[in-house]
Structure 1
Amino acid sequence: MDSLEEKTLKSEMIFDGKIIKVVVDDVILPNGATSKREIVKHPGAVAVVAITPANKMVMVEQYRKPLEKAIVEIPAGKIELGEAPEWTAGRELEEETGYKTNGLKHLVSFYTSPGFADELLHIYLAGDLEKQVNPLQADEDEFVNIIEVSLEEALQLIEEQVICDAKTVYAVQYWQLLEAMK
């Protein structure tokens, strides 16, 4: 099989932001031609599938500026420098929902948009949830409404495009599979 590798000739950072960096790479294609690749560099993120003892999924409603609307999502956040993904998952769960977990299980890790970004998202299942009286504080620029929904409600929110991001659709489908196996 022929190599599909694109060799980088030159890389130039054109944006260095708080969350992402954007680079433009000049590459040699497998056929010898050259091209440019615009790449978003991201430190990685986590998301948490949190199911309460009452069999409700803990979610957050949050305004997403790129979409110009509020959507419902599972708790998630960026991995900070030096953090292990599992630690970030516990921190984000508590900051965004007020729940603490005594049990995280890694479900899957995947690249969110490999055509233009290197973000690796790690999804965890949180068990043994406890509502905290004094939870960790959310980021000062983050505003969320916490909701708890049944599986049927979550499926309806997908149908209504209120749940419309890949990680949350995955989480609901994973939950649906767990329920079917009971």
Structure 2
Amino acid sequence: MGAKRIGRKEVYKGKIFTIVQDEILFDDGSVAQWDLVVHNGASAVVPITENKEVILVKQYRNAKDGYVLEIPAGKLEKGEDPLECAKRELEEEIGFKAGRMTKICSMFTAVGFSDERLHLYMAEQLQVGKQNLDEDEYIEVVTYPITKAVEMIFKGEICDSKTIAGLLAVENLLRYSK
């Protein structure tokens, strides 16, 4: 069983992503048109303090039309190393640098319609740096014990997918690294 892309047409080009319409040829000879959001990718970081607290950002998100709790994250610049992006976002968004960064995984954020790949890290041995928000970023930095943050997932208080994946992964890593 196989399929391959035989054509691509750009439909929209924006600041953050591009939308294309692909033609896909299947083994039986049929052709389908699929829409795809093309994105440079992103990095996200779960910052953990020595007291096993996670530092999150609370910010307005248009998709929810409300405030969302998230781990620090940002999009990759063209050709940027994902680890360098993670370090940059950690300091820009919450004002910390990490003595140790551990790669958790890379994952597609919405593989059904986007090629965005998110690189997920855990940051430990935090040291104070300098917060430097983008011009259009209005965030509040909040801290929760990792166990409380995970409870908040199941209460619907944390609804962002990268944050959910990151918190569950880090809680698991911390539990089994004792």
* TM-score of the superposed pair, with normalisation by structure 1: 0.91
Percent sequence identity over aligned pairs: 35
> Is the Cα–Cα contact under 8 Å of residues 122 and 170 in structure 2 kept in the other structure?
no
Q: Residue type of the partner of 2:19?
A: V
Give the distance between the partners of 2:144 and 2:174, measured in 1 at CA.
Answer: 14
How far did 1:172 drift? Answer: 1.7
Q: Which stretch of structure 1 is more off in the superposition, 30-39 or 89-98?
A: 30-39
1:30 to 27, 42, 46: 27
Structure 2 counterpart of 1:118:
115
RMSD: 1.4
Give the distance between the partners of 1:156 and 1:54, measured in 2 at CA.
Answer: 17
Aligned pair count?
Answer: 177
Q: After superposition, where does 1:12-51 map in structure 2 within 5 Å?
A: 12-51=9-48
> Is the Cα–Cα contact under 8 Å of residues 45 and 77 in structure 1 kept in the other structure?
yes
> Is the Cα–Cα contact under 8 Å of residues 147 and 171 in structure 2 kept in the other structure?
no
How far did 1:56 drift? Answer: 0.6
> Is the Cα–Cα contact under 8 Å of residues 91 and 136 in structure 1 kept in the other structure?
no
* TM-score of the superposed pair, with normalisation by structure 2: 0.93
1:137 to 132, 140, 162: 132
How far did 1:69 drift? Answer: 1.6
Q: Residue type of the partner of 1:126?
A: A
Seen in structure 2, the aligned counterparts of structure 1 residues 56 and 145 have a Cα distance that, compared at 3 Å, is same
Structure 2 counterpart of 1:174:
169
Give the distance between the partners of 2:114 and 2:145, measured in 1 at CA.
Answer: 33
Give the distance between the partners of 1:45 and 1:89, measured in 2 at CA.
Answer: 8
Give the distance between the partners of 2:149 and 2:131, measured in 1 at CA.
Answer: 26
Structure 2 counterpart of 1:160:
155
